[in-house]
Structure formats: structure tokens, C-alpha cells
Amino acid sequence: MKAKEIKFLSNLDSRGTLTSIEGDYIDIPIDIKRVFYMHHVTSDRGGHAHIDTDQVLIGISGSFKLKLFDGKDTIEFVMDDCTKGVYVPRLIFTDMYDFTSDAVCLVLANTHYDMGKSLRSMDAYMSYLKEHNLV
């Protein structure tokens, strides 16, 4: 699986901690075209895969669990450290669950949103992978 955890540069001084993330392949392996965040989450999120979008997910506050599936292998992360993110390349089926009430998930994406370029169910995802000889 090509998904991986990324540790961000943090600078600590008497005022607190500043954590930075630079695009253009400096800190993350994508060029940022879209930024969004989820908060006040009341149920599971994700449940889909993007055909052409790579993302970096960051648990900014609280915690949640992230489960990734590439058609063969599954990997899970506990998202509870705002100095780390998870790189999720295109065509990885993503599920997010067990959100705490104060959880905030920041997402950096390399494309603009197009719902037509996502696979919204596991059946659609597996069919796409098989049709394109990816499993």
C-alpha cells in the first residue's frame, strides 16, 4: 500500500507550537488544489475512493480512526496527533469512524472536487479495480 504517515515540522517556543505544511512536494507528496475540513461529525465519513485525487488527512483536534483499503490490504491509523498526517493516494477506499465530539479532520487534496470521479461504494470500487486490472 502506498499510503503512509507523514510527520510535519513543528517549532516549539515559549508561545506554543507552530506546525507547518508546504505543498509543491516539500512536506507532502501532492500539489494542493483544495483544502477542506470536517467538524461536528455525528456519523462515519468516507466510504468511497477517489479515481484521480490524492489527499493528506490530518487530525487537527480530538481523534478519529482512519481505515484504508487498496483492494488487497487494509491499514488503520488513529488520527490524534496534529503534527502528523496520512497520505492517501488515489484509488484507496477510505473509511473514517469513531470521531470524538471535538474531532476536526483537515484534508489537503491535489484536485478540485468532482463527485463523478469517486467510487461511492465498495462494490463500485472493486468493480473499477477489476475492470482496470488493478487487483
Predicted local distance difference test score (pLDDT) of residue 135: 87
Sign of CA pseudo-dihedral 62, 45, 33, 26: positive
Residue type, 1: M
* Residues in the chain, pLDDT under 50: none
Q: Is 48 one of the annotated active-site residues of the chain? A: yes
C-alpha cell, 1: 500500500
Predicted local distance difference test score (pLDDT) of residue 27: 92
Give DSSP secondary structure letters for 67-115: EEE-SS-EEEEEE--TTEEEEE-TT-EEEEE---TT-EEEEEESS---G
Predicted local distance difference test score (pLDDT) of residue 23: 83
Predicted local distance difference test score (pLDDT) of residue 1: 78
Alpha carbons 22 and 90: distance in angstroms, whole number: 20
Predicted local distance difference test score (pLDDT) of residue 71: 96
Predicted local distance difference test score (pLDDT) of residue 4: 96
From 48, 50, 112, 132, the catalytic residue: 48
DSSP bridge partners of 38: 105
How far CA 23 is from CA of 40, 45, 100, in Å, comes to: 27, 25, 28
Predicted local distance difference test score (pLDDT) of residue 24: 80
Q: Is 116 helix (H, G, I), strand (E, B) or coil?
A: helix
Sign of CA pseudo-dihedral 83, 52, 69, 104: positive
Residue 22: how many CB atoms within 10 A of its CB?
A: 11
Q: Is the pTM of this model over 0.85?
A: yes
